[in-house]
Amino acid sequence: MTDPDPMDGATDDAPPAADRQPLDLGGSVAESAAPDFRAARRHVLLELLRLAADLRSDGVDVPPSGPLTAARALASVGLADKPRVEAALRASLLSSPEGIDAFADAFPTFWHRLRTGLDAIATDDGGASPDDDASSDGSAPDDPGTLPDAQVPASGDDTGGGETEVLIPTERRYASGDRATEDSETGDARRYSAVGGRERVEVPAGGLRDEETAAIDRFVDALATLPGRRHRDAPAGDRVDARRALRASLGTGGAPIDLPRTEPTPSELRCCLLLDVSGSVLDTIDRAVLLDVAARLTDRARQSRVFLFDTDLVDATTAFARADGDPAATLRDAEFEWGGGTKIGAAVDAVRRQHPAAVDRRTVVVVISDGLDVGDEDLLADAVTWLADRAGALVWLNPLAVSPAFEPKTRGMATALPYVDALFGFARPADLAEAARQIERRGLGGPIGYEHDPRRQRAEAGGEGE
């Protein structure tokens, strides 16, 4: 199930909503002799839908009926007072604090477009037809003099299709699918070789912000496989719901015939984390973030095993268990090395031979790797098949898959993909929230993965338009 296209769903519904009460178009419109209310209303609704679409493309979870509520709210508060409009839209379009920053970014642009468009309509003497005006409002005349309090959007008349960026913004530095170019030839050789030069783990302590932690927690909750303490109704459950059974027995004169049953809701995670720490991954993703995410993930799961691999596999479970918020320091003290070549097949095979108990049918295996494998292809296929058979689920997080241009065509990724339950892009903790959202919506067996990421789809749509 995907959201209905916001444009279609809401344009059908929104006009009647606004019909109920005439929009208060603010001072400038009210003063003019015969304002074109139809065009004004159309303009407001279009801008509203555009704002909702922009927020969605920024990863904000705007409910499908959000624009509808927002239209009603605007009809109630009017369009003249900026703080009130902002409060009204915030209340109707947002439903979690994660979206507040994106909203704060998007609102000035919305307000500027809205007011310039309305002023243009109000001062329009009937030269252009309303439809022309509304459909070309992206290039509506920008008259700074009429709007002292509105900010001119930095992107100018760009209507948003091309705004989606290909680079992956992280708070600490920009990472992208492209290699850094400043490295010398030896550096490149090291990254792509199978044996590679390894180095000690040496990373400044990172620390996660609250919303990043929340994203990771949500991801863990979405993957939960172990029974928790809550119970839910299930016809074949193992526990009788005494309360409901008693209530049902009332209908049969006190004889408990029908015994409703419950089963525990899965709310805890047992996970096995396979962390690719080869040179190629370390160059694409912020190392501190990688370690912090792994630490938080293992901390949040009820049971977890962590393995680091490049050409060799090391069990880092105890190191992460002792990390206490600073995994980088713990790994450094334990003299872990990383940054070699990538042999995913050999690594998984080592798990199979040395730590077979780490994976069972209730374990979710989370692999963080870019899939640039230089090892034996058959070994990889064998190993991943074993992993997929044995584990409850196999989730692959690929740092390269956040790029809209990503296709799983590298040898390693193409080999592993058929056995993977879900392949998500992962470059910053916020990407986990998107992964969690998809898993919550559609389940691990459903149509989930990087290709269903709305940001990617939007970038593709924008790319075709250009």
Is 101 a binder of other proteins (CB under 8 A)? no
Q: How many residues bind other proteins (CB under 8 A)?
A: 36
Is residue 75 within 8 A of residue 23, CB to CB? The reply is yes
Give the single-character DSSP code of 175: B
Q: Does 12 bind other proteins (CB under 8 A)?
A: no
Separation of alpha carbons 193 and 408, rounded Å: 20
Of 66-74, 147-155, 170-178, 456-464, which segment contacts other proteins by CB under 8 A? 66-74
Q: Which of 11, 69, 170, 410 contacts other proteins by CB under 8 A?
A: 69
The single residue among 172, 200, 232, 322 that binds other proteins, judged by CB under 8 A, is 232
The smaller minimum CB distance to other proteins, of residues 233 and 378, is found at 233
Taking CB under 8 A as the rule, does residue 20 contact other proteins? no
How crowded is residue 229: how many other Cβ atoms within 10 Å of its Cβ? Answer: 8
Report which of 212, 392, 374, 226 is spatially closest to residue 292, judged by C-alpha positions: 212
Q: Which C-beta is closer to other proteins: that of 119 or that of 292?
A: 292
Bridge partners, residue 273, by sequence: 306, 366
DSSP 356: G
Q: Is 2 in the site for other proteins (CB under 8 A)?
A: no
- 255 binding other proteins? (CB under 8 A): no
Angle at Cα 273 formed by Cα 296 and Cα 385, nearest 5°?
Answer: 155
Rule CB under 8 A: say whether 284 interacts with other proteins: no
d(CA 284, CA 178): 8
Q: Nearest 5 degrees, angle CA 347-CA 350-CA 353?
A: 155
Stretch that binds other proteins, among 73-81, 109-117, 189-197, 351-359 (CB under 8 A): 73-81
Q: Which amino acid is at 235?
A: P
Q: How far apart are CA 106 and CA 78, in angstroms?
A: 20
Q: Does 86 bind other proteins (CB under 8 A)?
A: yes
**Contact between residue 14 and residue 67 where contact means Cβ atoms under 8 Å apart:** yes
* Cβ pair 429, 389 in contact under 8 A: no
**Position among 6, 26, 35, 66 found at the interface with other proteins (CB under 8 A):** 66
Q: How many residues does the chain have?
A: 466
Q: At its nearest, how many Å lie between other proteins and the CB of residue 224?
A: 11
Residues 405-464 contacting other proteins, CB under 8 A: 440
Residue from the set 9, 32, 84, 336 that interacts with other proteins by CB under 8 A: 84
Positions that interact with other proteins (CB under 8 A)? 61, 63-66, 69, 72-73, 76-77, 83-84, 86-88, 90-92, 94-97, 100, 207, 214, 218, 221, 229-230, 232-233, 243, 247, 250-251, 440
